[in-house]
Structure 1
Amino acid sequence: MEHITSTPTAKAPAERFTGDVYLNPIQTHSDPARLVASLVRFTPGARTNWHSHVKGQTLYITDGIGLVAARDGSVALATAGQTVTCPAGEEHWHGATDTTLMAHIAMLVGDENGDGTTWLEPVTDEQYAAALKSGDR
C-alpha cells in the first residue's frame, strides 16, 4: 500500500490547453497498472485542445459547469456529479463554460506506450462559441 497525502498543483501546458488550467495528478501510468487519473480545474473559457485516447476517457465533473464536445458536433453540458464518457479513438475536447469554472476528475487507461493520448490542434474560438450555443442544456 502507498498513502499519497498530496500532489502539487501544476499549470497545464499551453501547447495542449487554451486559458488557465491546473492539474493535480491522482494516479500516473505505471506497469502493471495503467490507470491515469487527474483532478483538472478550468477557469471560465479554458479548454483542452482536440485530442483522443486509445482506450477512451471518463470525466467525472466535481464542480461547476463544463462542456465536452466531439468532432461529430455533439456537445454535452455537464454539472457537478455527472459523468461523461468518450469512447476509444473519439476526437473530443472539454473545458469550462464562458462564465463558470469547471473541475473534473479525468480518468483513462493507458497502453504499453504510456497514457495513450493523441494531442491535436487547439479548439478555435468559433468552435468553442458553437459548443456553448448547442450544449444540451
Structure 2
Amino acid sequence: MEFLDKEPTVKAPAETFTGDAWFDVVHRGTGESRMRVNVVRFAPGARNAWHRHALGQTVHVTEGRGLIQARGGEVRPMRAGDTVYTPPGEWHWHGAAPEHFMTHLAMWEAPAGGGSETEWGALVTDEEYESRA
C-alpha cells in the first residue's frame, strides 16, 4: 500500500472553463496504470469548454446539480449520484446548473504509448448553456 502525494487545488484555466471552477488531481497513473481521476468543483453557472477524450470519460456527480451535453444532443440535468459515460471521441461539456454548485469525479484513461488524452474546443457559449430544457 502506498499513500500518494496530494497536489494542491488548481483554479481551472479561463482558456478551457467559463466561470469559477477548481480541480484536485486524485490520481494520475504512471507506468502501466493510465487512469486519471480529478475532483472538479464548479460554482453556479460554471462549465468546461467543448472537449473530447481519446478513450472516453466517466463523470460521477458527488454533490449538487449540473448539466451535460454531447454535441448535437440536448442539455441533460445531472444530480448527486448520477454517473455519465461519454464514449471515445465524443465532443461534450459539463458544468454546474445556473443556481447550484456541482462537484464531480472526472475519470478517464491516457492512451497507451502517450498521445493526447483530451482535445479542447471552443468555450460553451451562454446561448448553448441556456438552451437547456
| TM-score normalised by structure 2 residue count | 0.93
Higher helix share: 1
- What are the equivalent positions in structure 2 for 1:51-130 lying under 5 Å apart? 51-111=51-111, 112-113=113-114, 116-130=117-131
Letter in 1 for 2:96: A
| Two-structure CA RMSD over aligned residues (Å) | 1.4
Match of 1:35 in 2: 35
Q: Identity of paired residues, percent? A: 45
AA in 2 matched with 1:121: A
Q: Is the 8 A contact 1:109 1:115 kept in 2?
A: no
SS of aligned partner of 2:33: coil
Number of equivalences: 132
Distance 1:125 1:91 in 2: 17
Deviation at 1:13, TM superposition (A): 1.1
Paired with 1:62 and 1:114, the residues of 2 have a C-alpha distance of 30
8 Å contact from structure 1 (residues 29, 115) kept in 2: no
Structure 2: state its 5+ residue gaps: none
In 2, the alpha carbon distance for the partners of 1:107 and 1:65 equals: 18
